[in-house]
Amino acid sequence: MITPTTAAEWLNISRDFETTWNVSNVIGALDGKHIVFRAPRAEGSTYFNYKSTHSIVLLALVDANYNFIYVDVGVNGRVSDGGVYRQSSLAKALAQNSLNIPEDKCLPQRQMLVLKVITEIKSSKKK
């Protein structure tokens, strides 16, 4: 797994999202999953989540073909989705602008510049 670090690599991913999924300016799809485990007794409710289980969270960014391009695992399951993202190295790298995300561009047949975006993965399976 290699996280892109150049504008050209991000643009390739964006092009794949446009051709495969018909969405523009997307540089990745992000989702998190709870990994259930038996927490140590000494941890109390630290890992206890809204699903009434103990878990750690796997946060992953994938390209248009579901290839992992970033993974962060280990935040306790009690933390909210936003909190998991805020604690990730991905959020920090994006805030520091260290991933060389490409310049904004116009959507097809539009004149206003639009930021590159990370979308959420939506599954057709019932949870």
Do the domain assignments include residue 2?
no
| pLDDT higher than threshold 80 for residue 122 | no
Do the domain assignments include residue 126?
no
Do the domain assignments include residue 91?
yes
Do the domain assignments include residue 58?
yes
Give 56-88 pLDDT, tens digit per residue.
999 999 999 999 999 999 899 999 989 999 999
- b/e sequence 76-90, b meaning 16+ C-beta within 10 Å: bbebeeeebbebbeb
Do the domain assignments include residue 61?
yes
Do the domain assignments include residue 116?
yes
Domain that holds residue 71: 7-120
Verdict on whether the full-model pTM lies above 0.75: yes
Do the domain assignments include residue 1?
no
Question: pLDDT confidence of 126, banded at 50, 70, 90?
Answer: very low
Over residues 100-109, mean pLDDT: 86
CA-CA distances (angstroms) from residue 95 to 26, 60, 98, 101? 17, 18, 8, 11
Q: How many domains does the chain have?
A: 1
